[in-house]
Amino acid sequence: MKKLRIYQIDSELDTQGLIFMPYDFFKSKGCAVPPASSYRLVFDGDVGTDNLGEITCMFNINHPTGYKGRSLTTSDIVELYDNNASEFHFCDSFGYQDVEFDKDSVSHDVHIIIAAEDGSSSGWKFDLKDATKVEIAEFIKTTVSDYIDVLLDELIQGKNSISILYGGEEVSDNARI
């Protein structure tokens, strides 16, 4: 049995209006190969089946624990893989199309947003691809160091919240202190 990865277009990266569009629309825009740089990885794991119909039901009706993406829909890419090979399937209006897909070009941006009680916010964005945890921690430390004293005071007073987004999805608990 193969493992599964699901890639979904991030609306912030979609410069050609491809999100939720069928494969024929991609081809009409000159995209015979879906542009991986517009996609984010939203799932990687073993779901106990290689059947695309079962996968579609699973990711539309009964999402696996920890799944952070939206329901599986048109324009999503399903990768079935093992140690020997990968196969990519474009979720089309009806069924799937086998496609080529450059998974090494998928976006790995992380956004850190600090929202104030008054509705204002500050944010930072960086590319997580090939970064170690130490490099990410150092980036965050360096980036927010100018604001840390004020930020901590305001967090303690309940005036700010911190959100960490990956692939447009919240991966923190919108922490408040």
What tens digit of pLDDT does each residue of 85-126 get?
Answer: 999 999 999 999 999 999 888 876 665 555 556 666 555 555
Strand order across the beta sheet in which 77-81 lies: 39-45, 3-9, 77-81, 86-91, 96-99
Tell me the torsion sign for CA atoms 28, 34, 39, 43. Answer: positive
Regarding pTM above 0.85, the answer is: no
Distance, in Å, from the CA atom of 81 to the CA atom of 10, rounded to the nearest integer, reads 23
What tens digit of pLDDT does each residue of 108-118 get?
Answer: 666 555 555 66
- Long-range pairs of 57-66 with CB within 8 A, sequence gap ≥ 24: 59/6
Distance, in Å, from the CA atom of 169 to the CA atom of 68, rounded to the nearest integer, reads 7
What tens digit of pLDDT does each residue of 18-67 get?
Answer: 999 999 999 999 988 999 989 988 888 889 999 999 999 999 998 887 78
Residue type present at position 152: L
The domain limits of the chain are 3-105, 109-170
Distance, in Å, from the CA atom of 157 to the CA atom of 151, rounded to the nearest integer, reads 10
For residue 111, the cross-strand partners are 125, 165
Residue type present at position 173: D
